[in-house]
């Protein structure tokens, strides 16, 4: 079954864009109802210890206050840890808001004020008096790594380092060219534009919960388990999500608090967190890594050793795949990878755009640059000489790998052949100019997903799935896939997502949604065409009586033979004859377990960066970036490019700006606002060029697409760091690379 309308692959603008830019798109905290109550969360001012006394009397007397909740009067909820674990949970004891008086981290919620208005709740919260018994906080990973440990319960099989192969220590000792260095990454904080908020409404005898989440069905299951509610009476919606980057994979405490208060008071309740509170939620954990590489005099790797210690909370073992990338990115027969955790008095970290890879690949790619200078060859040539043609960690073939094309096309666009080898050899006025590059890799996979597609008698199409759109373009991509199958303009497709009652999908994360839900939509769409053909075959003297699915397509409202569009029947006539006004079919997709035993899939990238560093002031600026991406079939070049642009900007932030500053004497975050937590602004971003190389992959997903949300950031920080070395001759191994660190190098 072919179609030549060619909607997939074209750069359509987002179909929900007009709603967003005109303010008609309502986010989680923008829903209202008569009698709506507002909540405000009071947070701890110590990082470790316990509450000795909490006095809420003055807050309760404040005009407009309905109730104040603390650990002393919180309603009962589920006891078992299993009831509190969502689908994205990690090993350990999930955080339970207001469970007891113990303080686990700075900014922990210690009370909830519910009032008739937001201002009343906020002002009353300031009147709560709390006396703490503070313990000495332990928040410095550089100090606490000495107490690190291997997690007893892995978060997932893919995060467990593979066993050593070959003889890495002996090969390292015998090699003529070696580097071994420690790399430190400070913690970064998710800061999407939309604050975390939840609005709980009473509708149709149940609850309708508008929540900022990357998975409405995950939120629904969490709420039902924790509060013992009937899933049939709990609907969760997240029609629009103002960014998340992984922060919305797990339910946040405002969800629990809003539902708790609403059920207790039997009134609609809204709780929205402040920007300050966003810093106490998920974050990319601080990490210390040791990477040791050895090569022969031609630059061919002889040994790779990568060890990482990563921060987690006292109550959960958050884990990432940090070191495994070093065993598959380049060909090497002698490899040892190891990973440990350090318990700190902090909130549990969380997935933040390319979790693990953004951290581990940064260290690996910086070490590769160092090795290139140790060997004395071009950094790009070093990578080419160590090209891996299969995954040595798992002994599997790649479904596709167009990294060579990324190297070639990215270098050509950037002008890499004009780069001089020696550091401090390129200048422009008072600026030292540096060119650096790095490779990137991220897993490409699909998750189980379902979708429903309805073709109406007038040719209109409706696509339904519980998938989320966190700004990635899910609405548009799903619409394009259906529009192409049914031969209709994109404007004739209505896309319904972000609703827990719709066909089941996983959380929107891991760069899997387009490939997973998109494939499910394609399966459902083809099933609808198959049903339409079956109806057509049953018509008297049907010109399609002997046609197969492969022979037909839909064009201009008719089911026609692909070889001759003059032969066919109108959709209206087919449905009239069948006595139906629409055809609705369900599509389901799951990973191919048999195929996964032999093949594995990744997206790849090559990132080229130009920096200019003022020789006197040591202020670095990223002036040019070329990011070449091998991401399989590109469903929409416009939304795809936006994903890579966003990833590059976040990578620049990781390299030069973002750092959660903790006063380790108190364990408190000092820069919990957007004035002092630095992120790239418009003035920090100059020219970014995105190149999508040709890559066909018939195994990664039924629609041939690989994810793009994550790969855009992987390797960017390393490329910036390598460019700064090329410009200044100073190797900075502590991110972010700020002026003081350049001056002190």
Residue that has been written with the tokens 């981290």 in this structure: 105
Write the burial class of residue 581 (CB in 10 Å: 0-12 exposed, 13-18 middle, 19+ buried). exposed
Write the burial class of residue 183 (CB in 10 Å: 0-12 exposed, 13-18 middle, 19+ buried). buried
Cα 109 from Cα 95, distance rounded (Å): 11
Cα 401 from Cα 595, distance rounded (Å): 17
What secondary structure, in 3-state letters, does 69-105 show?
ECCCCCCCCCCCHHHHCCCCCCCECCCCCCCCCEECC
Residue that has been written with the tokens 């970036």 in this structure: 625
Selection from 711, 546, 556 nearest residue 628 by Cα: 711
Handedness of CA 353, 355, 359, 365 (dihedral sign): negative
C-alpha dihedral (100, 103, 107, 109), degrees to nearest 10: 0
Cα 627 from Cα 194, distance rounded (Å): 27
Beta-bridged to residue 564, according to DSSP, are 561
483-500 burial, b at 16+ Cβ within 10 Å, e below that, comes to bbbbbbebebbebbbbbb
Handedness of CA 199, 202, 206, 208 (dihedral sign): negative
Exactly one of 277, 320, 658, 710 is catalytic; name it.
Answer: 710
Cα 276 from Cα 668, distance rounded (Å): 12
Cα 139 from Cα 667, distance rounded (Å): 6
Cα 53 from Cα 37, distance rounded (Å): 27
Beta-bridged to residue 496, according to DSSP, are 464
- At 682, which helix (H) or strand (E)? none
Cα 243 from Cα 471, distance rounded (Å): 6
Cα 114 from Cα 36, distance rounded (Å): 10
Q: 502 in helix, strand or coil? A: coil
Pairing mode, if any, of strands 234-237 and 269-272?
unpaired
Beta-bridged to residue 188, according to DSSP, are 284
- Which residues have C-beta within 8 Å of that of residue 57, sequence separation ≥ 6? none
- Which residues have C-beta within 8 Å of that of residue 594, sequence separation ≥ 6? none
The answer to whether 203 is a known catalytic residue is no
Residue 208 backbone dihedrals phi, psi, to 5 degrees: -110, 120
CB neighbours of residue 214 within 10 Å? 26
CB 460 within 8 Å of CB 494:
yes
Cα 165 from Cα 630, distance rounded (Å): 28
CB 406 within 8 Å of CB 606:
yes
Residue that has been written with the tokens 């996979």 in this structure: 445
CB 189 within 8 Å of CB 676:
no
Cα 77 from Cα 94, distance rounded (Å): 13
List active site positions: 710
């Amino acid at each position: 079954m072919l179609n030549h309308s060619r909607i997939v692959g074209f750069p359509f603008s987002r179909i929900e864009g007009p709603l967003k830019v005109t303010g008609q798109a309502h986010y989680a905290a923008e829903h209202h109802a008569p009698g709506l109550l507002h909540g405000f969360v009071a947070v701890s001012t110590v990082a470790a210890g316990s509450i000795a006394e909490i006095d809420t009397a003055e807050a309760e007397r404040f005009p407009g206050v309905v109730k104040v909740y603390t650990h002393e009067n919180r309603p009962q909820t589920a006891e078992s840890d299993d009831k509190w674990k969502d689908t994205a949970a990690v090993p350990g004891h999930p955080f339970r808001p207001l469970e007891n008086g113990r303080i686990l981290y700075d900014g922990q919620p210690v009370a909830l004020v519910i009032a008739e208005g937001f201002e009343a709740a906020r002002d009353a919260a300031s009147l709560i008096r709390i006396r703490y018994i503070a313990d000495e906080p332990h928040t410095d990973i550089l100090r606490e790594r000495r107490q690190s440990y291997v997690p007893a319960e892995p978060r997932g099989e893919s995060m467990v380092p593979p066993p050593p192969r070959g003889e890495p220590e002996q090969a390292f000792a015998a090699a003529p060219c070696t580097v071994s260095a420690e790399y430190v990454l400070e913690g970064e904080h998710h800061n999407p534009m939309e604050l975390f908020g939840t609005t709980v409404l009473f509708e149709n005898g149940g609850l309708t919960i508008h929540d900022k989440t990357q998975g409405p069905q995950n939120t629904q299951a969490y709420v039902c388990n924790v509060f013992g509610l009937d899933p049939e009476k709990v609907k969760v919606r997240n029609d629009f999500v103002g960014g998340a980057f992984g922060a919305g994979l797990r339910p946040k405490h405002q969800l629990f608090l809003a539902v708790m208060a609403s059920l207790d008071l039997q009134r609609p309740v809204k709780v929205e967190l402040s920007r300050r509170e966003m810093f106490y939620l998920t974050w990319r954990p601080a990490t210390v890594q040791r990477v040791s590489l050895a090569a022969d005099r031609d630059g061919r790797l002889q040994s790779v050793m990568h060890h990482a210690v990563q921060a987690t909370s006292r109550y959960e073992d958050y884990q990432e795949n940090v070191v495994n990338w070093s065993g598959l990115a380049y060909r090497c027969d002698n490899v040892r990878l190891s990973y440990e955790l350090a318990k700190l008095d902090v909130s549990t970290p969380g997935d933040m755009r390319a979790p693990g890879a953004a951290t581990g690949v940064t260290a690996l790619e910086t070490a590769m640059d160092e090795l290139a200078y140790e060997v004395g060859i071009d950094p790009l040539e070093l990578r080419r000489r160590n090209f891996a043609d299969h995954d040595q960690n798992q002994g599997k073939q790649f479904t596709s790998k167009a990294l060579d094309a990324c190297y070639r096309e990215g270098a050509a666009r950037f002008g890499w052949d004009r780069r001089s080898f020696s550091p401090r050899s390129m200048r422009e006025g008072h600026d030292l100019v540096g060119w650096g590059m790095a490779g990137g890799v991220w897993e490409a996979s699909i998750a189980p997903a379902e979708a429903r597609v309805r073709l109406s008698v007038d040719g209109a199409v409706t696509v339904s799935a519980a998938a989320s759109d966190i700004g990635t373009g899910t609405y548009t991509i799903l619409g394009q896939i259906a529009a192409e199958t049914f031969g209709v303009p994109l404007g004739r497709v209505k896309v319904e997502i972000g609703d827990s009652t719709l066909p089941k999908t996983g959380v929107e994360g891991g760069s899997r949604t387009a490939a997973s839900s998109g494939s499910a939509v394609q399966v459902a769409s083809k099933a609808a065409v198959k049903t339409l053909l079956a109806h057509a075959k049953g018509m008297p003297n049907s010109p399609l009586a002997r046609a197969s699915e492969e022979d037909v397509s839909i064009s201009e409202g008719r089911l026609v033979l692909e070889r001759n569009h003059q032969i066919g029947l109108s959709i209206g006539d087919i449905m009239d004859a069948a006595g139906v006004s629409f055809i609705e079919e369900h599509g389901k997709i799951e990973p191919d377990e048999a195929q996964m035993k032999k093949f594995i899939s990744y997206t790849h990238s090559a990132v080229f960066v130009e920096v200019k560093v003022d020789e006197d002031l040591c202020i670095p600026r990223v002036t040019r970036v070329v990011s070449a991406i091998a991401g399989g079939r590109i469903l929409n070049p416009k939304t795809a490019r936006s994903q890579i642009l966003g990833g590059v900007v976040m990578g620049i932030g990781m390299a030069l700006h973002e750092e959660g500053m903790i006063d380790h004497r108190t364990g408190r975050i000092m820069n919990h606002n957007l004035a002092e937590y630095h992120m790239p602004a418009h003035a920090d971003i100059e020219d970014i060029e995105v190149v999508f190389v040709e890559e066909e992959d018939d195994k990664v997903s039924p629609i041939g697409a690989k994810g793009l949300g994550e790969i855009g950031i992987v390797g960017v920080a390393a490329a910036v760091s390598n460019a700064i070395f090329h410009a200044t001759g100073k190797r900075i191994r502590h991110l972010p690379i700020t002026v003081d660190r350049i001056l002190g190098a």
